[in-house]
Amino acid sequence: MTPIQPDRECRAHWEGWPIGGIRTRAGGGMADSTIERVAMVSLHTSPLDQPGTGDAGGMNVYVVEVARRLAASGIAVDIFTRATSSALDPVVAMTDGVTVHHVHAGPFEGLSKEQLPGQLCVFAREVLRAEAAHPAGHFDVVHSHYWLSGQVGALARDRWGVPLVHSMHTMAKVKNEALAEGDTPEPEARVIGEEQVVEAADVLIANTDLEAKQLINLYDAEPARVEVVHPGVDTGVFRPLSPADRLRARRERDLADDALVLLFAGRIQPLKAPDVLLRAVAELLVRRPELRPRLVVPVVGGPSGSGLERPTALANLAAELRIDDVVRFVPPVPQAELAGWYSAASLVAVPSYNESFGLVAAEAQASGAPVIAAAVGGLTTVVRDGHSGLLVDSHEAHDWAVALECVVADPAYRDRLAAGALVQAEQFSWEATAAQTLAVYQRAHSLMREEAGALR
């Protein structure tokens, strides 16, 4: 395997740094599998950002929750992310045992995700500098999130002599195979970058069995180096409410007690397909016009990705479909507030064209809301069709309208799905995710030791 190396311009940043070979650990040999400190890299989005804004979404929640659970078990976690404001403190204690480092790399504002590859060198330099301030062997493992972070993680792996564990979260080849109408294909540079990270990583963490197969079939990942670890749900935040508390959650959000609440939560962009829900609602009202006085469609989230190019497109579509009287746009909210929206919902719609897992679906089910989701990606793992919700094998408005009608027109069926949603949610917890992730770190150490022994 050829390690990813900085180009000629990038090398200038490392003048005075050791370039040749892998740094050995304290004592001159490869470390054992005891994990005491983890370096997480989340370059393009900060764990401190509000999910549902900009590029912040499920990955942010994942990084935060796993880091917190690892810290609770006594493992220190340092998270490196790019600073997007001069007002940010260089180092922030997110919680006991979790430290966020805001790395200065490029302009604070106005830099799109597509422009970030040009800042990889300076970001990597600052990550290496942070480790160099400590004795050799400060970190025991690097865990990178998304392909941009994986490029930095691969370099850190070779400099620090520790294993690289990588989580893709999304993959260009998968997204391009199921591109939403009007969305922009992922560039070839990202595809190449992902292939390099897959080759460089000691272990790849996949959210589901399907994602593991995609890594193997589309990226030629070695099956023995792919581990499946499901993300979790914070059941202290997302939990079922009593009937009285559910009514209170509705009233706090200006929703009638008998309202039919069809909720969308997530970033507003073509990939997440909120337009599919709106078109389905319009058809539902043609089929069942008597539902209009009770129908409310909250869209909780903000424009993101290619959705930033037309930030008013969804509102314009609602007006065009003549359903703007039932659609309500709600800015992104903290998790505790989002949990209240799930509890107030009659159902939660997740019509995405692709989801590596589908945290919204998992959180909604843990809150007791049945989910209607597209039968894509990780959603087929999260939602149990006919038991915790319904999976729709298309993005056609007619098919979605039929699914919506099945649930809203039959309260008893909706209640059965809600009960099944709670049962389905029991298999996902962040405690289990963190424990399994720690086991992956230890296995990555074992693989690195085996490789080192084979080279002797």
Residues of each annotated binding site: 44, 50-51, 55-60, 113, 146, 170, 190, 267, 272, 333, 342, 345, 355, 363
Composition of the chain by helix, strand, coil, percent to 5: 45, 15, 40
Binding-site residue numbers for Mg(2+) are 342, 345
Tokens 């129908």, located at residue: 295
Binding-site residue numbers for 1D-myo-inositol 3-phosphate are 44, 55-60, 113, 146, 170, 190
- Please give the DSSP secondary-structure letter assigned to residue 362: H
Q: Which of 372, 365, 369, 336 is nearest to 351 (CA)?
A: 372
Q: Which two tokens stand for residue 410?
A: 């039959």
Tokens 């650990």, located at residue: 25
Q: Calculate ∠ Cα 246-407-329, nearest 5°.
A: 60
Using CB atoms within 10 Å of the CB of residue 238, give its burial: 0 to 12 exposed, 13 to 18 middle, 19+ buried.
buried
CB contact at 8 A, 180 and 149: no
187 Cβ contact partners less than 8 Å away, ≥ 6 residues apart: 114, 172
Binding-site residue numbers for UDP-N-acetyl-alpha-D-glucosamine are 50-51, 58, 267, 272, 333, 355, 363
Q: Which two tokens stand for residue 315?
A: 């509102």
Distance CA 14, CA 8 (A): 10
Outline where DSSP puts E strands in 207-293. Answer: 226-228, 260-265
